[in-house]
Amino acid sequence: MTVDIDVPLVRRLLAAQCPQWSDLAVAPVAKPGWDNMTFRVGDRLSIRLPRYPRWEEQVTREQRWLPVLAPHLPLAVPTPVFQGEPGEGYPFPWSIIEWLDGEDAVGFTPTEDSVLALAGFFRALRAIDATGGPPPQWSNGFRGVAVADERDSAIVAERLRPKLEALTGLTDVDGLTAVREAGLAAPAWSHPPVWVHGDPAPGNLLVRDGRLVAVIDFGTVAVGDPACDLIAAWASVPARHRAAYREALGVDDATWARGRVWGMTATLPTPEDFTTDPAGAHRRVAELLDDAQADATA
């Protein structure tokens, strides 16, 4: 089930449940998300409304845990200010949070300072007491489960193998398959579960004045294996800064190997990429293979 979400619906929800903001301007953001629709409300607020039943529990997840995490994190994160209930024809809970200024990091090439700031963020997140934190479950896409856990569909064989096979004749599929297999074979996370963001894609990082300033969209936050957060190492960190990022992040070799598979899910080229951007497609493959080879010969 997909829900139609538009400005009139948002206005009705505001008028019915938080009339103190009902006179503020409402406008959709330029880049709507996959899981939620987001609208600006006035200058300092935004409203997030889940689009599908699977993601409705993410509202409560953010509202419950962001206030716990925020004081311990070195970058800005959203501040929840109101949790709405279903109504006005909308079937899910919804959330109002403070607006954070900045542009998403899609297409942004970070400096080493921003790369180290991102590593510091994830290191701080892992260090927060995870007692009682939410486990990986259906509503967060099972982010934080063990890398070979069949519940997380991003990495399991039936999802990733066809994507690799589609690249036959275009790139080193055997090498990429070996990267995947090495990640799955790496020792599992043997420590107590730690906090994970779950979806640290460039679209969930905010930059301002050329530097990283915030991390947003905590709907997939959980406690578990931190390997999934290494998506950021491949999707947001340039190759020339990746070694510094790895060192600053402070993860062990097994976690890095598991995280490399997560990186593959975020950066693996499609067959079309080898036509539209062949240099970029070959570069992304080479970075994965070179990193794995360097670890194998270290």
CATH classification at residue 232 = 3.90.1200
- Give me the pLDDT at residue 298, please: 75
Taking each helix axis from N to C end, the angle separating 278-297 and 239-249, rounded to the nearest 10 degrees, works out to 40
- Look up residue 38 and give its amino acid: T
| Same-domain pairing of 168 and 259 | yes
Three-class DSSP category at 214? strand
Shared domain check, 86 and 125: no
Tell the residue number behind the tokens 């890095």, with chain if given: 256
pTM: 0.94
Same-domain pairing of 172 and 85: no
CATH number for 17: 3.30.200.20
Query: Do residue 288 and residue 185 come from a single domain?
Result: yes
| Domain annotation covers residue 22 | yes
Domain that holds residue 62: 7-100
Q: What integer pLDDT is reported at residue 265 of this predicted model?
A: 87
Apex CA 202: angle with CA 90 and CA 64, to 5°? Answer: 45
Domain count, the chain: 2
Strands (E), the chain: 26-28, 36-41, 45-50, 80-84, 94-98, 103-104, 194-196, 205-208, 211-215, 222-224
Tell which of 100, 130, 153 closes a domain.
100
249 vs 44, 64, 242, CA distance in Å?
Answer: 32, 26, 10
Whole-Å CA distances, 147 to 101, 150, 213, 257: 34, 8, 29, 10
Per-residue pLDDT of the chain (298 residues), as tens digits, is 667 899 999 999 999 999 999 999 999 998 777 788 999 999 999 999 999 888 899 999 999 999 999 999 999 999 999 999 999 999 999 999 999 999 999 999 999 999 999 999 999 999 999 999 999 998 888 899 988 777 765 555 667 888 999 999 999 999 999 999 999 899 999 999 999 999 999 999 999 999 999 999 999 999 999 999 999 999 999 999 999 999 999 999 999 999 999 999 889 999 999 999 999 999 999 999 999 999 988 7
Is position 1 within any domain? no
200/221 same-domain check: yes
